[in-house]
Structure 1
Amino acid sequence: MAFDHKNALKDIPPQPGVYRMLDAEGGVLYVGKAKDLKRRVASYFGRALNRRLVVMVSQIADIQVTVTRTEGEALLLENNLIKAHKPRFNVLLRDDKSYPYIRLTASDTFPRLAFYRGPKRGGDKYFGPYPSAWATRETLQLLQKLFPVRQCEDTFYATRTRPCLQYQIKRCTAPCVGFVSPKDYAADVAHSVKFLEGRTNEVIDELGERMEQAAEALEFERAARLRDQIATLRRIQQRQYVSGDGGDLDIVAAAGEGGSVCVQVFFIRAGRNLGNKAFFPQVPDAAGLESVLSAFLAQFYGDKELPPEILVNAEPDEREFLEAAFTEQAGRRVGIKHRLRGDRARWLKMAEDNAELALKSRLGSRAGYARRLEALRDALDLDELPARMECFDISHTGGELTVASCVVFDGDGPRKSDYRRFNIEGITPGDDYAAMEQALTRRYRRVQQGEVPMPDVLFIDGGKGQLGAVGQVLAELGVSGLKLVGVAKGPDRKAGAEQLWLPERPSAIILGADSPALHLVQQIRDEAHRFAITGHRQRRDKARRTSVLEGIPGVGPKRRQNLLKAFGGLRGLARAAPEDIARVDGISDELARRIHDAVSKEST
């Protein structure tokens, strides 16, 4: 039965809001926003449509709308619904990360510069966003060379009794032990802030005056250091600056080829290029760059800080709606511009060239990946190309703090949003079979409950024995219908000599070292290994950073700080008698005995 759109339009008001196109089973085909819902929805039925929209409209069985007060509310609701339902006819951006900032603490006498990701807190200063953690940390390292403002954790800073290595290599002025006055430290902080705000010329002028004063006072060593700082700043200026007016803006350029799209975003803050990032949204067939950019901007900036200007290489659909929604979201005017001249046109061309280059590289690697996938299908005698593959690996140090990893590959390559780690507990240390059993049980119970898709192929890092144990675990869970493959390293444990074990075969499959199928298996196995090792190291580092004091009831952050200050660290505390511990402010005799017992036990 054809959908009666005329009857449906009668109940749709001419107000801002969000509409949802539903199919006969109630699934969401498409989510859209509009300043005028009635006019926007009617446009799908009263004009010539492209092939993608014709297919979508032919499947509509119902239309639901939600009225909002403003365009900004509609934008936010649309973004949430797209993330929740992932409609097949929407452009889908897989980017749930918050972007990192550099934070300057404001409440300390000696403020700290630090990497930060999360909601902003009042009082502190934030600089960014940066496109990646790498770009943020690179800037922090650069700042530490230029202006020695501390970057250490507050807990480390508070317990110092002598300068650390950063002071020795001239990357810090040791405020923790009073080697720098608050006034001199504040000057370095001010220079750091000006640099991050793009006011580098002011910093250079100030350093130039100080260099001349030092030379006049015959302080030639100090003058030489200031000269080197100025030279470094000028080199950075030449490399990073793209705008002489010091403005904040983002440059967003899209490029399409072969049904795929790359969107390149450059972050310009205070005239400085903080870096760029490429996105490859999932795009329905026949979607133009205008609709791709419109959907990308709505989803990308749905929960992010907006610059005053966004430069784009094609006018997005509903540009005026987006500008109104972004202006409301930011609390100030936000403009989306695409007709540009001069420097800005050149920046946009640069972003467009980068998008095209990244897309060609991705298409080339995707073609190679497709060939490896076809070769794997043939090697494992599968009926069709595997749509989802999982691989498990185990990592530990001497059996301690065991972590299991599960990585997922689909038809396009690694699906990192589906990666999972499992902290293994309650097993005999070093028992990899028991660790694998626990990880598989936890994972495939969720598969059986329908929370996680069933893979076509399951790789296990191990040989015939490991494969048999895994097969038994899956049988007990009632998991069937997947191809189980053990990846053994071979007699010499050399790359290229791997053996593939299948439960139904008495002997291993040995592929040539140049086999595309083997290269894919190695890639999947190595990724599982990397992910497991990373998780184990993080768990181990966290255990090492955790003080024995944190496990003692009644010892909170303040008392821990008092104890460590009083005894100069855990080593001094371990040598102290209960009576000495009880003299510390806030520590009772009973608590002192408990602290003494816990610390003494840990140090033995």
Structure 2
Amino acid sequence: MEKQGFHSSDYLKGIVQNLPETPGIYQYLNAEGTIIYVGKAKNLKRRVYSYFSKEHTDGKTRVLVSKIADIKYIVVNTEEDALLLENNLIKKYRPRYNVLLKDDKTYPSICVQNEYFPRVFKTRKIIKNGSSYYGPYSHVPSMLAVLDLIKHLYPLRTCNLNLSPENISAGKFNVCLEYHIKNCAGPCIGAQTQEEYARNIQEVHEILKGNTKDISRELLAQMNKLAAEMKFEEAQKLKEKYMLVESFRTRSEVVSNTLHNIDVFSIEEDDEKSAFINYLHITNGAINQAFTFEYKKRLNESKEELLALGIVEMRERYRSRSKEIILPFPLDIPLNDIKVTIPQKGDKKKLLDLSLLNVKQYKIDRLKQTEKLNPEQRSIRLLKEIQQELHLEKLPMQIECFDNSNIQGTDAVAACVVFIKAKPSKKDYRKYNIKTVEGADDYASMREVVYRRYERAIQEETPLPDLIITDGGKGQMESVRQVLEELKLNIPIAGLAKDRKHRTSELLYGFPVQTIGLKQGTPLFRLMEQIQNEVHRFAITFHKQKRSKRQIASALDEIKGIGEKSKTALLKEFKSLKRIKEASIEELTAVVGSAKAKIIQKTWNE
């Protein structure tokens, strides 16, 4: 492919030059004749020409163009026709470089069977035999709640008998247990007429369409009429049905009864690979359908492109005829007679917020599922988050953090902890005795330790970190910067600061230093808190060990006849002064010999 001008193939050049300047669909085919990409265009010639007339920055697009061996196109009348045809062709051919629904599993629907006495049941198979289907339901408990409501409202049959008028008249059937427990009115023996059953089924259709408000109003009117006629028993039965419908309506997220036949869409991206789209359908102020799905990006598609695809996909899948669509941002989508609303307040904004809440929760759930299957995925996501927050050139696969520890300048030590792929690598931890600094000078101590660590790393050619973190503020960061400059190392430096309650609160980065807030409870916050707590624990533990050994050595110095070699052996074996004092003569003898063991016991028993 040339930087300016066409692909080297004169064949493709000839096709592009003769393309019409009308709306349509174009299909790219590879050398094997397989469709590898389907696209729509307001102007076919201009759109296809753009693929071949410039250098593409996106690597995937460059690969796509290099594989194009043939071009086919379909002219349509309008942009809306192009949008719908594109969606159908993508689903039919599933081209390699087109965005596809990642989750292809079939969700259940509710079927109202096309038969003399229709059954109502859940199914995952759509058979075009005149039956009515409602769904699919991505949230199965919602579907089961609707079926449960229908079961309690109407005594519908559940058997598989062929209830034709001829078979019923011939007396071929007997009632089953469902009839005796009043779940079925016995149409198989003619105890329930087809007209009465059909009225029930008509109301079932209305419930499945989300028109529960009309059903509720009708039940209330019939109940009042029966009560006025003194038919209290029948009125009570209708009251029970009315209460069931009202209870179901209150659980269906009723926003406002004035909102009817509206589609709501929202989108949330997950880095450069995926996008999640939520769809809600509103009928009589209640959510009648809800679905969230994932698109796997192929050519770095924009949010606008993905949302347009999602709108067409969902409206076709759910057979939506809504004349209004609520969106989070303006979108140039060629759908005739459709009102697009981007609400800023009110009930429609509440619906959009609800959709956004659902899509964000779905994204979190998918990430958790992915991380369970692949724990390393979580680590990489955290590292990407750090990379984005600090604008690092590469992922901080190896992070090293330093901390000092001393009490009033005595027993000064420092520690370095290492995290590889966001996990502690304890075999790489290092502890340091401060050698060149007198008194409590944290900055000088930091310079000494960082210099010693990275000078040795350079000499031994061991891996250098991708990010250095200090357990402290600007002063500690500046100390590290001075050392790295002296060693001619270019490693990003950050600092972890704590609030007045000594809790991890913010991340410092850059020169001049910028403050990056850490939201408590987030995975990034927990990682930073873990790093800070780990380096502090490691430094304090080492400091206590050193102080304890100094105190033991000081106590042993008072005993005549116990030299450096014996002190070292005792410290190594017993670890603390208390244990040495509590040791038996036999235990002491095993370490320093009989004569010295007797001297130690005699000195401390006097």
Taking structure 1 as the reference length, the TM-score comes to 0.51
User: Matched residues in 2 for 1:216 and 1:243: separation?
Assistant: 32
Question: AA paired with 1:206?
Answer: E
Question: AA paired with 2:86?
Answer: E
**Deviation larger for 296-305 or 238-247:** 296-305
Match of 1:345 among 340, 346, 349: 349
Are the counterparts in 2 of residues 29 and 56 from structure 1 also a CA contact under 8 Å?
A: no
Once the two structures are superposed, residues 435-483 of structure 1 have per-residue CA deviations (whole angstroms, 9 ceiling, x without a partner) of xxxxxxxxxxxxxxxxxxxxxxxxxxxxxxxxxxxxxxxxxxxxxxxxx
Match of 2:6 among 4, 7, 13: 4
User: Matched residues in 2 for 1:202 and 1:39: separation?
Assistant: 52
1:257 aligns with 2:267: no
| Partner residue in 1 for 2:190 | 178
Structure 1's 95 and 154: CA in aligned 2 closer, same or farther, altered over 3 A?
farther
| Partner residue in 2 for 1:355 | 359
Once the two structures are superposed, residues 22-73 of structure 1 have per-residue CA deviations (whole angstroms, 9 ceiling, x without a partner) of 6688775532111320122234467897636764576365561312333466
User: Matched residues in 2 for 1:48 and 1:84: separation?
Assistant: 30
| Partner residue in 2 for 1:142 | 149
Are the counterparts in 2 of residues 31 and 87 from structure 1 also a CA contact under 8 Å?
A: yes
Structure 1's 234 and 355: CA in aligned 2 closer, same or farther, altered over 3 A?
same
Question: AA paired with 1:288?
Answer: S
Are the counterparts in 2 of residues 19 and 31 from structure 1 also a CA contact under 8 Å?
A: yes
| Partner residue in 1 for 2:244 | 232
**Deviation larger for 12-21 or 68-77:** 68-77
1:164 aligns with 2:173: no
Match of 2:327 among 312, 317, 337: 312
Structure 1's 95 and 211: CA in aligned 2 closer, same or farther, altered over 3 A?
same
Please list, as runs of the form range in 1=range in 2, the aligned pairs for 1:539-558 lying within 5 A after superposition. Answer: none
SS in structure 1 of the partner of residue 297 of structure 2: coil
Structure 1's 74 and 95: CA in aligned 2 closer, same or farther, altered over 3 A?
farther
SS in structure 2 of the partner of residue 252 of structure 1: strand
Are the counterparts in 1 of residues 64 and 97 from structure 2 also a CA contact under 8 Å?
A: no
- The number of equivalent residue pairs is 362
Q: Which has the higher contact order (CA 8 A, sep 6+)?
A: 1
| Partner residue in 2 for 1:278 | 292
Structure 1's 37 and 304: CA in aligned 2 closer, same or farther, altered over 3 A?
farther
SS in structure 1 of the partner of residue 249 of structure 2: helix
Match of 2:26 among 14, 19, 23: 19
Once the two structures are superposed, residues 238-292 of structure 1 have per-residue CA deviations (whole angstroms, 9 ceiling, x without a partner) of 1223452463333222101233321222233454423422212211364321122
| Partner residue in 1 for 2:310 | 296
Are the counterparts in 1 of residues 371 and 377 from structure 2 also a CA contact under 8 Å?
A: no
Question: AA paired with 2:374?
Answer: A
Are the counterparts in 2 of residues 91 and 296 from structure 1 also a CA contact under 8 Å?
A: no
User: Matched residues in 2 for 1:205 and 1:82: separation?
Assistant: 44
Q: For structure 2, which runs of at least 5 residues remain unmatched after alignment?
A: 8-12, 379-606
Taking structure 2 as the reference length, the TM-score comes to 0.50
Structure 1's 307 and 119: CA in aligned 2 closer, same or farther, altered over 3 A?
farther
Are the counterparts in 2 of residues 50 and 286 from structure 1 also a CA contact under 8 Å?
A: no
Match of 2:235 among 207, 223, 227: 223
Are the counterparts in 1 of residues 264 and 326 from structure 2 also a CA contact under 8 Å?
A: yes
Structure 1's 52 and 233: CA in aligned 2 closer, same or farther, altered over 3 A?
farther
User: Matched residues in 2 for 1:33 and 1:15: separation?
Assistant: 11
Once the two structures are superposed, residues 131-168 of structure 1 have per-residue CA deviations (whole angstroms, 9 ceiling, x without a partner) of 46664444222111012233443437968744323233
Are the counterparts in 1 of residues 60 and 299 from structure 2 also a CA contact under 8 Å?
A: no
SS in structure 2 of the partner of residue 179 of structure 1: coil
Please list, as runs of the form range in 1=range in 2, the aligned pairs for 1:73-472 lying within 5 A after superposition. Answer: 74-75=82-83, 77-83=85-91, 86-94=94-102, 102-104=110-112, 108=116, 110-115=117-122, 117-118=125-126, 120-121=128-129, 127-128=134-135, 130-131=137-138, 135-155=142-162, 161-182=173-194, 184-215=196-227, 219-240=231-252, 241-245=254-258, 247-259=260-272, 260-269=274-283, 271-284=285-298, 286-301=300-315, 305-308=319-322, 309-316=324-331, 319-320=333-334, 323-324=335-336, 333-335=337-339, 337-338=341-342, 341-371=345-375
Deviation at 1:235, TM superposition (A): 1.3
Are the counterparts in 1 of residues 103 and 294 from structure 2 also a CA contact under 8 Å?
A: no
SS in structure 1 of the partner of residue 307 of structure 2: helix
Are the counterparts in 1 of residues 6 and 53 from structure 2 also a CA contact under 8 Å?
A: no
Q: For structure 1, which runs of at least 5 residues remain unmatched after alignment?
A: 325-332, 375-604
User: Matched residues in 1 for 2:314 and 2:226: separation?
Assistant: 50
Question: AA paired with 1:366?
Answer: T
User: Matched residues in 1 for 2:377 and 2:221: separation?
Assistant: 64
Are the counterparts in 2 of residues 16 and 37 from structure 1 also a CA contact under 8 Å?
A: yes
Are the counterparts in 2 of residues 254 and 355 from structure 1 also a CA contact under 8 Å?
A: yes
**Deviation larger for 349-358 or 173-182:** 173-182
User: Matched residues in 1 for 2:45 and 2:302: separation?
Assistant: 24
**Deviation larger for 40-49 or 249-258:** 40-49
Are the counterparts in 2 of residues 79 and 302 from structure 1 also a CA contact under 8 Å?
A: no
User: Matched residues in 1 for 2:269 and 2:127: separation?
Assistant: 34
Question: AA paired with 1:369?
Answer: L
Once the two structures are superposed, residues 556-575 of structure 1 have per-residue CA deviations (whole angstroms, 9 ceiling, x without a partner) of xxxxxxxxxxxxxxxxxxxx
**Deviation larger for 229-238 or 84-93:** 84-93
Structure 1's 118 and 346: CA in aligned 2 closer, same or farther, altered over 3 A?
same
Are the counterparts in 2 of residues 130 and 274 from structure 1 also a CA contact under 8 Å?
A: no
Deviation at 1:190, TM superposition (A): 4.4
Structure 1's 336 and 60: CA in aligned 2 closer, same or farther, altered over 3 A?
farther
The percentage of counterpart residues that share the same residue type is 28
Structure 1's 95 and 76: CA in aligned 2 closer, same or farther, altered over 3 A?
farther
Deviation at 1:95, TM superposition (A): 5.6
Once the two structures are superposed, residues 198-247 of structure 1 have per-residue CA deviations (whole angstroms, 9 ceiling, x without a partner) of 44344334333443454455544433322222112111121223452463
Deviation at 1:120, TM superposition (A): 5.0
SS in structure 1 of the partner of residue 146 of structure 2: helix
User: Matched residues in 1 for 2:339 and 2:129: separation?
Assistant: 27
Superposed CA RMSD = 4.0
User: Matched residues in 2 for 1:193 and 1:24: separation?
Assistant: 51
User: Matched residues in 1 for 2:244 and 2:104: separation?
Assistant: 36
User: Matched residues in 1 for 2:317 and 2:242: separation?
Assistant: 38
Once the two structures are superposed, residues 290-330 of structure 1 have per-residue CA deviations (whole angstroms, 9 ceiling, x without a partner) of 122123334555666233244333444x512xx15xxxxxx
SS in structure 2 of the partner of residue 281 of structure 1: strand
Deviation at 1:359, TM superposition (A): 1.0
Once the two structures are superposed, residues 527-569 of structure 1 have per-residue CA deviations (whole angstroms, 9 ceiling, x without a partner) of xxxxxxxxxxxxxxxxxxxxxxxxxxxxxxxxxxxxxxxxxxx
Question: AA paired with 1:350?
Answer: L
| Partner residue in 2 for 1:330 | none
Once the two structures are superposed, residues 574-599 of structure 1 have per-residue CA deviations (whole angstroms, 9 ceiling, x without a partner) of xxxxxxxxxxxxxxxxxxxxxxxxxx
Structure 1's 220 and 289: CA in aligned 2 closer, same or farther, altered over 3 A?
same
Please list, as runs of the form range in 1=range in 2, the aligned pairs for 1:566-581 lying within 5 A after superposition. Answer: none
Structure 1's 208 and 20: CA in aligned 2 closer, same or farther, altered over 3 A?
closer
Deviation at 1:344, TM superposition (A): 2.0
User: Matched residues in 2 for 1:272 and 1:284: separation?
Assistant: 35
